[in-house]
Amino acid sequence: MVKMNCVVVDDEVMGRKLLEENIKQIPFLHLVGSCSNAFEATEVLKKERVDLLFLDIQMPGLLGTSFLATLTHKPLVIFVTAYANYAVESYNLDAVDYLMKPVSLDRFLLSANKAYALFLPKSDTQTKEDFFFVNVEYSLVRISIPQITHIEGLKDYVKIYIEGERHPILTKQTMKSVEAKVIPHGFMRVHKSYIVNLAKIESIKQHRIKMGHFEITVSESYIGELMERLNASKLG
């Protein structure tokens, strides 16, 4: 796995420690420096290849936004701040994201994924996208997309069913966000609450899909497209 070299820049000790802990939990991030101000960060940038900055804004001596504007070769930047009034300026500086303190692990992971997608070349991005990470009880769990049989949407959570596993993975995500990750890999939404892996379908009878010991109802609005896609894959 290609890793991104990261630097944390925050004048608050607790803020730095929290970001460092979050970075350690994400397999594709590698911390190469932790700095209390922009001047320390400048020295790290001279010595290390830095792909991503987690940058505070309100710091003594030099604002994070001003520091970024001085850099000739800018790494990707995620601003992490307690102040909302710099959001417009941050986007004018092409920041990947703007995180408000305190940052939850879920929100941090979402932001890191955005940066990683921008960091990888297109060919590597395509390879990368056959898996993704979800937050499960304060731990990051890697999900292999080809091993997913189906996904069930609940109110604020989704259940991800993995082939060969007795219990689904429950994570706080929206169906829309998970759908965007799996649709390019032969998945299809067949109901408001279900997305299925077309390759794992065993049979369809009376608008019901059989997958192992699961039966999933196909909504009337999706049945036509489902049959077209299954017939196309059979012909292919």
- The secondary element (H helix, E strand) that includes residue 67 is helix 64-70
- pLDDT, position 126: 47
Given the candidates 2.40.50.1020, 3.40.50.2000, 3.30.499.10, 3.40.50.1110, the CATH classification of the domain at 129-235 is: 2.40.50.1020
Question: In the predicted model, is pLDDT for residue 93 greater than 90?
Answer: no
4-121 carries CATH number 3.40.50.2300: yes
Distances (CA, A) of 163 to 48, 113, 181, 213: 42, 25, 18, 11
Q: Which of 4-18, 73-87, 113-127 has the lowest average pLDDT?
A: 113-127
Mean pLDDT of 124-148: 79
Q: Which is nearest to 97 in space by CA: 85, 82, 84, 80?
A: 80
In sequence order, what are the beta bridge partners of 159? 152, 170
Percent of the chain as helix, strand, coil, to the nearest 5: 40, 30, 30
- For the stretch 222-227, contacts whose Cβ atoms lie closer than 8 Å and that sit 24 or more positions apart, written own/partner, are 222/188, 222/189, 222/190, 222/191, 225/188, 226/188, 226/190
Q: Which residue has the higher pLDDT, 174 or 209?
A: 209
Mean pLDDT of 161-169: 94
- The secondary element (H helix, E strand) that includes residue 222 is helix 220-235
- pLDDT, position 235: 47
Q: What is the pLDDT of residues 37-81, one digit of tens each?
A: 999 999 999 999 999 999 999 888 888 989 998 898 889 999 998
- pLDDT, position 23: 96
Q: Which DSSP letter does residue 104 get?
A: P
- pLDDT, position 234: 57
Q: 64 burial class (0-12, 13-18, 19+ CB within 10 angstroms)?
A: buried
Mean pLDDT of 164-168: 92
**Domain residue spans in the chain?**
4-121, 129-235
Q: What is the pLDDT of residues 16-45, one digit of tens each?
A: 999 999 999 999 999 999 999 999 999 999
What tokens were used for 172?
Answer: 């706080």
CA distance 153 to 217: 13
- pLDDT, position 189: 93
| 4-121 against 129-235: fold identical | no
123 band by pLDDT with thresholds 50, 70 and 90 = very low
CA distance 113 to 105: 12
Question: In the predicted model, is pLDDT for residue 139 greater than 90?
Answer: no
- pLDDT, position 181: 87
The overall average pLDDT reported for the chain is 88
128 band by pLDDT with thresholds 50, 70 and 90 = very low
